[in-house]
A and B are shown apart, each in its own frame.
Chain A
């Protein structure tokens, strides 16, 4: 076949994009056009502005593509000269611009969420109907294995009296405060306003004031709608981060969550201090309790991990001495009174002792 080609400096193999047949062609370049002459005599002239180098070939041959015919390929023979193409698609600059754009977009969205993420969540959390939030909350309670709530008439009455002493100053009050038979030192507030204390926490507390502190802290989470915000975050932001960012996106989301959790815990502590002082209970009791469980905590339990992942629900976050310092720095209660009388305290401590 090559013998029938017209004399020319350069040859190439043409794939015209219509069939897989390799056409041997002779090339003639001019300033504005490339003329291809096929072995069967057919001649085609292509505007040089429509030619570009194809991306990322194996590098063994120069491959040209046409901007107006995506399937067209011209494989130049080794040694064929190539005039400067006006629109030489530089793969590096294209890759660089994709990277730059995605880095900028990621940083932009990241910065927005970092700085304004809680504002967005705060704005949307009150829009969730309480009924829906309560449904989700009940589900989380059941998922945590905290479904078995302990009841005794005397214990329920004691718990109600304790909760009434530390009512939030503003915002919604807890829908209920209850003790679940789980032997972990932890407590959480679920969407919809259910506050659950674990038996492990009741056992660990030395005074009713310490339990009152934990209830006040959880009630402050409820008043600030933190559980609803966590729910939005979990179903929205985290899901998107993991869908698009994969494992690394999930890690980034976790970092954001932890940073945000710290601020929410501090806000809940402040609310707890205010509620305790208003209820004539010394806020120091909460600090005492947090200081003690810090040492006793054994990490790694599944339920603890779930609560930690949901972040905002948890009362007991490990190793944050600054929280204790901040609580101790608050003014003490002016006229402290016992949070519960002795018989109520016994009733609360034995709320889960009754046989099922």
Chain B
């Protein structure tokens, strides 16, 4: 029996930006000279680094997956998903060209639904892959299924979200979170997720209303102001008048965008608090602390880093995500480590090719 009563120190990230940037630079160079093929091994090296600097109850994680697995996963995804999809979308174009609109419409629907399904199955399998090759104290994790049922659930939730004009988003995301974490295990210990959607919904719907009303008001107001006042540039107006109008438009949209982002940051932070806080492993409960401002600042800094480095900064985002989440995560309760036996689930031999192809996994 081990207690995680050291709370905030149960999960610690001890990375060092210097060596990590060195690793990323080496990866970038090797990826370029191998015409992109090295990126699978680069990804494995990044994971090995991040895992090995993350300490849970005093012991570091170990990433045991390999670049070769990711490479094989990409090959499989290409053969089983990518190629058929390219051929089918070509068939769709051919049907359009032949003016067979009924068949084209049906195929289009099937392609959209199929893609949505496959991407969600791929996401599930990428979590399975991540858990299966993560080792802590010699014990590995796993997911109970192959993700086929999860794909249908995700499809139903997407449908629900679209017919409720987004109102069902908190329900859908909580339902999916619970579904995947209740399938997850670490060793013989099951993860349990009992996140409630109602408290999140109470925060969500006013935001949705404010967003819609805010956008409508600002757009209507702009139209009125620009249309009725002297701000509308007259034909032959001096260039600075045009610039003033454009500048005003940008200013209004920037203020609106930032204001809405701040409001939504509050919801996103609340989602993570509720989701991580409602999840446990064995008798160990997790926690997460971040408020609207923390989340807003974090996202703004990320955008500034990426823009300021002309996109190269995207390569250090996995590091930032690890550091951000580890610093704000806590664990409490007890984990019976002596009773936590090795996982009985077979580890997949290939990586997460589908989710990887759509660049969906954060790390």
Residues of A within 8 A of B (CB): 15-22, 54-58, 70-73, 75, 95, 98-99, 102-103, 105-106, 110, 135-136, 138-139, 141-143, 147, 235, 239-241, 243-250, 252
Nearest chain B CB to A240 CB, angstrom units:
7
* Chain B residues touching A, range: 35 or more
- Could you jot down 19 A-B contacts, CB within 8 Å? A16-B138, A19-B139, A19-B187, A19-B341, A19-B342, A21-B338, A22-B337, A73-B138, A98-B67, A102-B34, A102-B38, A103-B33, A106-B35, A138-B98, A244-B75, A245-B37, A248-B31, A248-B32, A249-B36
Across-interface contacts of A21 in B (CB, < 8 A): 337-338, 340
Shortest 4 CB-CB contacts between residues of A and residues of B? A245-B36, A15-B138, A249-B36, A142-B97
- Asked whether any CB of chain A lies closer than 8 Å to the CB of B108, the reply is no
Contact indicator A19/B93 (Cβ below 8 Å): no
Q: Does B339 contact A (CB under 8 A)?
A: yes
Any chain A CB within 8 A of the CB of B86? yes
Residues of chain B with a CB closer than 8 A to A244's CB: 36-37, 71, 74-75, 78
Contact of A19 (CB < 8 Å), options: B38, B48, B337 = B337
Determine the residue in chain B with the shortest Cβ distance to A147: B97
Q: Which residues of A contact B93 (CB under 8 A)?
A: 139, 142-143
Q: What are the residues of chain A within 8 A of B136 when measuring CB–CB?
A: 20
Q: What are the residues of chain B within 8 A of A99 when measuring CB–CB? A: 30, 34, 38, 41
11 extra A-B contacts, CB within 8 A, seeds A19-B187, A20-B138, A102-B37: A15-B139, A19-B340, A55-B48, A73-B135, A73-B138, A135-B94, A136-B94, A241-B36, A243-B75, A244-B78, A246-B39
On whether A56 and B49 interact (CB within 8 A), knowing A18-B341, A138-B94, A243-B357, the answer reads yes
CB pair A136 B34 closer than 8 Å = no
Q: Are B139 and A98 interface neighbours, CB within 8 A?
A: no
CA distance A58 to B61 in the complex (A): 10
Q: Which residues of B contact A17 (CB under 8 A)?
A: 138-139, 342
In angstroms, Cα B338 to Cα A18, docked, is: 10
On chain B, the residues within 8 Å of A136 by CB distance are 90, 94
In the assembly, what is the distance between CA of A152 and CA of B127, in Å? 62
Q: Which residues in A have their C-beta under 8 angstroms from that of B49?
A: 56
How far, in angstroms, from A223 to B117 measured CA to CA in the complex? Answer: 44
**Quick check: A246 and B138 within 8 Å, CB to CB?**
no
Are A243 and B139 in contact, with the CB atoms below 8 A? no
Contact between B338 and A20, CB atoms less than 8 A apart? yes
Tell whether, in the assembled complex, residue B94 and residue A243 are in contact, meaning their CB atoms are under 8 Å apart: no
Q: Would you call B36 and A20 a contact (CB within 8 A)? A: no
**In the bound complex, what is the Cα–Cα distance between A70 and B65 (angstroms)?**
12
Closest to B79 in A: A243
* CB closest chain-B residue, reference A103: B34
Q: Using Cβ atoms and an 8 Å threshold, which residues of chain A touch B59?
A: 22, 75
Q: Choose one: B32, B45, B52; the contact of A58 (CB below 8 Å).
A: B52
Structural contact, A245 and B35, CB atoms closer than 8 A: yes
- In the complex, the answer to whether A243 meets B78 with C-beta atoms within 8 Å is yes
- Complex contacts, B337 vs chain A, CB 8 Å: 19-22
Q: Which of A20, A54, A95, A103 has the most CB of B within 10 A?
A: A20
Q: Is the CB of A142 within 8 A of B35?
A: no
B285 contacts chain A at the CB level, 8 A cutoff: no
CB-based contact A246/B67 at 8 Å: no
Which residue from B35, B74, B335 sits with its C-beta under 8 Å from A110?
B35
Residues on B with beta carbons closer than 8 Å to the beta carbon of A56 = 48-49, 52
What A residues does B90 contact at CB under 8 A? 136, 139, 235
Q: Choose one: A70, A135, A239; the contact of B83 (CB below 8 Å).
A: A239
B192 within 8 A of A: no
In the bound complex, how far is the Cα of B136 from the Cα of A185, in angstroms? Answer: 64
